[in-house]
Structure 1
Amino acid sequence: MSAIKSALVIGGGIAGPVTALALAKAGIQATVHEAHSRGDDVGAMLTVAPNGLAALETVGLREAVEAVGNPLRTMVMEKGNGKPLMNVPGLPGLPLSRVLRRADLFAAIRAGAEAQGVVVHDGQRLTHVEEHPDGVTAHFDDGTTAHADLLVGADGIHSTVRGLIDPAAPGPEYTGLMSFGFGDMRAGFTPGDLDSMHFAFGKRSFYGYWTQPDGSDVFFSNHPREQPMTLAEARAVPKSEWLAELRAAHVGDRPGERLFGSVTEERMLVAGPMERMPKLPHWFRDRMVLVGDAAHAPSSSSGQGASLALESAIELARCLRDIDDLPAALAKYVSLRRPRVEAISEQAVKTNNGKTAGPVAAFVFGLIMPIATRTFLRPEKMFGPVHRFRVDWDERVTA
């Protein structure tokens, strides 16, 4: 039985409610405190991989998330001109990844957590924390406070809790890429399989595209830009200027030139800078600990941001369940998670370097890739260690 009986989870996005559910399963009462008011975040689209679905299954949310996403059967890596380089089908014995709107994932997780008794307080932005020998008191900008044995920062890549744990902690790192999405970002999915998602190394920008079950196209561009911009700065630029820049970048790409040439500004989402968290010296201090993107956000090129956050939520609860000594439990949690998340994040850095390398490097990559896929670069080798990973809830953790 855990020595920790109560927890405050800061952040009501993906990791927060799942952390609260996992803690409840471990015998720890947890409430979630979200800075924003309840509402529909348009967001972009993302993928929950098989390892993320396994984490959701532990807290009873897998079916709810699968119901609002479409199963992805094949990923196709190709040149900017549309010539295939590699087909990556779903791995044998694993459920298919789900592609879904970020807002739909939020909603499914939130509804599932609340149905299981998790209380979520909206409109409570954390301002500061008082630490006591027997717990922590969180102060919010609406004037309210909350007290518990432990405070969990699940407040994303721009985490407030991270700065409270370590004022010298590094912040997010710009990857050199700006992200743009195109499609009906407000519409829900029409149920049905996605036969394939295409990822293309264009002449000047990396892009991806797929056709939804309703026949509409969704696509994106990871556009190299040397000077970083904040999301607010990126969205202050008129969409017409961004769209003109992207159209010029995708001239000669097939079908990129057609997709970017025919789309309207109304179907454009400026997602902003692609960022990642560099290696973080401290994930916890005293009675505060980080989970998910607040500790280990990889860039979106990994396809693993949401899934890794879900894994960490389960692992944290498991360690608190089995190790009575709090510092030892938190240290064990970090030791179990750090090697995996940092390896995946570093691999995504290599992927981003390929996206920003320019037309000459893209041409060389196109020559090498077909040889690699026929010899050593196999889907199981590439994705097996990531997608087949499971946090075994029933296995006991020892310090």
Structure 2
Amino acid sequence: MTHALIIGGGIAGATAAMSLGKAGISATVHEAYPAAADDDAGAFLVLFPNGLQALRTIDAHEPVLEASFSAERVEMLAHTGDSLGVRPIAGGLPAGTPEEETPGPRTIRRAVLCRVLRQEAERRGAAIEYGKRLVDAVTGEDGRVTARFADGSTAQGDLLIGADGLHSVTRRLIDPAAPGPRHTGQITVCGRTPGAGPEIAPAPGTYRMIRGRRAFLGCTLAPGGDLWWFANTPGGELSRSALATATPRQHTRWRDHVAGLFSEDASPAAEIVRGSGAGIVATNAYDLARTPVWSRGPLVVLGDAAHAATPNAAQGASMAIEDSVVLAKCLRDLPGPEAAFARFELLRRGRVEAVVERSARLNDRAVQRPAAHRTAPHPGQEAPAGSDWLLRYRIDWDSPVGAGTAGTP
């Protein structure tokens, strides 16, 4: 049996392990952290129907649905606190549609999604090894690849999948000249406000989006009664220590900084942030617009290692999940890794680059990117009008993958 080495145990890595298993390919996931990390306690995301349908393709959607809650509508508020209207979230279910047939958007903590996917991958027989930080990969004369890790250990496989995120080591091994991620001029801060009253909390299933004078805040009410919020704030790239929120002093500093950005507004944003409990997390916002080379020999990248959008389109997790399923189909149906990787790139590049560009434009509405990043999109990056192309994407597991032109897999 073909055996894959997967670098990275996040959303892409765990989904890739399950997808490969369904395709008859065994996999070992090598995660850099020494144990399953839960250091982004306040960070959460939305999975849209395209991502949920991709999970359904490999029968992995049920645990995610159980660990998440519905996102049904969006209410926009001005900095004055005035409502600018309510609308259904794109991709929501038509009235009367059973959710088990077409899952609608779902909200879930990032750490919980990673944990649920890893647990399901392990339940299906995938091995996950922790404390395995990739430092090199060497392809032998037999075409097999040997991965070398920082702890001195090695692993061998028939192919190596880099699901190791924005700062991917695999991407650099494939192409040392590959561009790295671009900072977008935005810091994303997430938190939770316990016991928020109806005067500041939206109705269940609703995302309240508040466009402030100096920053943008979105929030939704979780089933336990906590108000989950995120803020897109202006700021240059910060070091890990500058982003830290673990101590009470660091937590207070970030809470007061974000609340201060809304202090001149008449909306409830400042009050929401000031009421935050423990669990604030601040992250640099990046994107990765175009990776020229996705694969070399038995090495390939997917997810954020190959392409990354700003958080604004809320499609990062869904794109990684789609990638993982499509790659498994290509490896199942085509003769050898190189042919499979070429087809995978052909199927995916235009779509994911259009998502990156779409998200960058949404980012500009909240926090302007640095001028150097506001360039014309590369051919193929232009996003089609509307959202059907994005949200109605479906992967047919049973249809064979050919070696022809790009299209829906």
TM-score (norm. length: structure 1):
0.86
Pairing 1:122–2:93 present: no
The aligned counterpart of 2:87 is: 87
Instruction: Assess if the C-alpha contact under 8 Å between 1:202 and 1:253 holds in 2.
Output: no
- Superposition map of 1:315-326 within 5 A: 315-326=326-337
SS at match of 1:238: helix
Deviation at 1:345, TM superposition (A): 0.8
Partners of 1:23 and 1:15 in 2: CA distance: 12
Partners of 2:234 and 2:386 in 1: CA distance: 25
Partners of 2:304 and 2:243 in 1: CA distance: 22
The aligned counterpart of 2:380 is: none
Deviation at 1:273, TM superposition (A): 0.8
- Superposition map of 1:1-399 within 5 A: 5-43=2-40, 44-82=43-81, 83-89=83-89, 90-92=92-94, 94-133=102-141, 134-183=143-192, 194-225=204-235, 227-235=236-244, 238-251=250-263, 252-260=265-273, 262-264=274-276, 266-357=277-368, 382-399=386-403
Instruction: Assess if the C-alpha contact under 8 Å between 2:73 and 2:86 holds in 1.
Output: no
The aligned counterpart of 1:190 is: none
Deviation at 1:46, TM superposition (A): 1.0
Runs of 4+ in 1 over 6 A off after TM superposition: none
Identify the range of structure 1 (216-225 vs 298-307) with the bigger mean alpha-carbon deviation: 216-225
Instruction: Assess if the C-alpha contact under 8 Å between 1:91 and 1:384 holds in 2.
Output: no
Partners of 2:232 and 2:93 in 1: CA distance: 26
Instruction: Assess if the C-alpha contact under 8 Å between 2:47 and 2:317 holds in 1.
Output: yes
Deviation at 1:357, TM superposition (A): 4.8
The aligned counterpart of 2:381 is: none
Deviation at 1:86, TM superposition (A): 4.7
- 1:351 counterpart letter in structure 2: L
Partners of 1:244 and 1:121 in 2: CA distance: 39
Partners of 1:125 and 1:253 in 2: CA distance: 47
5+ long unaligned stretches in structure 1: 186-192, 359-379
Q: Deviations 1:171-221 (Å, cap 9, x if unpaired)?
A: 111111111112169xxxxxxx94201122111101111222232222121
- 2:250 counterpart letter in structure 1: P
Give aligned pairs, total.
365
Residues 276/240 of structure 1: CA separation in 2 closer, same or farther (3 Å cut): same
Deviation at 1:40, TM superposition (A): 4.2
- 1:223 counterpart letter in structure 2: T
Q: Larger % of helix: which? A: 1
5+ long unaligned stretches in structure 2: 195-202, 370-383, 404-409
Instruction: Assess if the C-alpha contact under 8 Å between 2:3 and 2:157 holds in 1.
Output: yes
- 1:209 counterpart letter in structure 2: C
Partners of 2:130 and 2:120 in 1: CA distance: 16
Deviation at 1:54, TM superposition (A): 1.0
Partners of 1:86 and 1:194 in 2: CA distance: 13
Partners of 2:80 and 2:93 in 1: CA distance: 27
Deviation at 1:164, TM superposition (A): 0.5
Alignment RMSD:
2.2
Identify the range of structure 1 (148-157 vs 53-62) with the bigger mean alpha-carbon deviation: 53-62
Partners of 1:332 and 1:288 in 2: CA distance: 14
Q: Percent identity, please.
A: 37
Partners of 1:184 and 1:241 in 2: CA distance: 16
Deviation at 1:393, TM superposition (A): 1.2
SS at match of 1:391: coil
Deviation at 1:25, TM superposition (A): 1.7
Identify the range of structure 1 (32-41 vs 108-117) with the bigger mean alpha-carbon deviation: 32-41
Instruction: Assess if the C-alpha contact under 8 Å between 2:210 and 2:267 holds in 1.
Output: no
Partners of 1:268 and 1:103 in 2: CA distance: 12
The aligned counterpart of 2:199 is: none
Deviation at 1:249, TM superposition (A): 1.2
Partners of 2:124 and 2:13 in 1: CA distance: 14
Instruction: Assess if the C-alpha contact under 8 Å between 2:7 and 2:161 holds in 1.
Output: yes
Q: Deviations 1:69-123 (Å, cap 9, x if unpaired)?
A: 0111112233233322451241435322111111111111011111111111111
Deviation at 1:283, TM superposition (A): 0.6
SS at match of 1:178: strand
- 2:224 counterpart letter in structure 1: D
Instruction: Assess if the C-alpha contact under 8 Å between 1:32 and 1:119 holds in 2.
Output: yes
SS at match of 1:183: strand
Identify the range of structure 1 (214-223 vs 100-109) with the bigger mean alpha-carbon deviation: 214-223
The aligned counterpart of 2:373 is: none
Residues 26/382 of structure 1: CA separation in 2 closer, same or farther (3 Å cut): same
Instruction: Assess if the C-alpha contact under 8 Å between 1:56 and 1:310 holds in 2.
Output: yes
Instruction: Assess if the C-alpha contact under 8 Å between 1:170 and 1:278 holds in 2.
Output: no
- 1:242 counterpart letter in structure 2: W
Partners of 1:153 and 1:344 in 2: CA distance: 20
